[in-house]
Amino acid sequence: MGPLLSGPTRVLKFGHTPTVLAPREERPPITDLISFGWDGTSGGTYMWHMIEQDVLQRYRPGSGKLRLIVVTDGHDTMSPEHYSGLRGMDPLMSSLHDFGYDVEWHIVVLGQVSQSERYESLAAATGGSFLAVTSFDESSRETARFLDAIADSGRSDYAHARRERQKQYELDARNGKTEKFEWFKLAEPSKK
Q: How far is 55 from 49, CA to CA, in rounded Å?
A: 10
Model confidence over 153-179: pLDDT tens digits? 877 788 888 888 899 999 999 999 999
Given a contact cutoff of 8 angstroms between Cβ atoms, the answer to whether 90 and 78 are in contact is no
Q: How far is 76 from 18, CA to CA, in rounded Å?
A: 13
Long-range contacts: 129-132, Cβ < 8 Å, 24+? 130/106, 131/107, 132/108
For 67, the 3-state DSSP assignment is strand
Q: Note the pLDDT of residue 113.
A: 82
More confident residue, 62 or 172: 172
Range of 15-19, 64-68, 188-192 with top mean pLDDT: 64-68
Q: Is 104's pLDDT higher than 60?
A: yes
* Longest CA span, the chain: 46
Q: Note the pLDDT of residue 25.
A: 54
10 falls in which pLDDT band (50, 70, 90)?
low
Q: How far is 183 from 163, CA to CA, in rounded Å?
A: 16
Q: Note the pLDDT of residue 118.
A: 92
Q: Is 26's pLDDT higher than 70?
A: no
Q: Note the pLDDT of residue 39.
A: 54
More confident residue, 17 or 121: 121
SS3 content of the chain, % helix, strand, coil (to 5): 40, 15, 45
Beta strands in the chain (DSSP E): 11-13, 19-22, 65-72, 102-110, 129-133
Given a contact cutoff of 8 angstroms between Cβ atoms, the answer to whether 68 and 51 are in contact is yes
Model confidence over 32-59: pLDDT tens digits? 444 444 555 556 778 899 899 989 988 8
CATH homologous superfamily for the domain 2-174: von Willebrand factor, type A domain (3.40.50.410)
DSSP type of residue 128: -
In the chain, the percentage of residues whose pLDDT exceeds 70 is 74
Q: Note the pLDDT of residue 150.
A: 84
Q: Is 117's pLDDT higher than 70?
A: yes
DSSP type of residue 25: T
Sign of CA dihedral 167, 171, 173, 174: positive
Given a contact cutoff of 8 angstroms between Cβ atoms, the answer to whether 7 and 24 are in contact is no
Q: How far is 52 from 173, CA to CA, in rounded Å?
A: 25
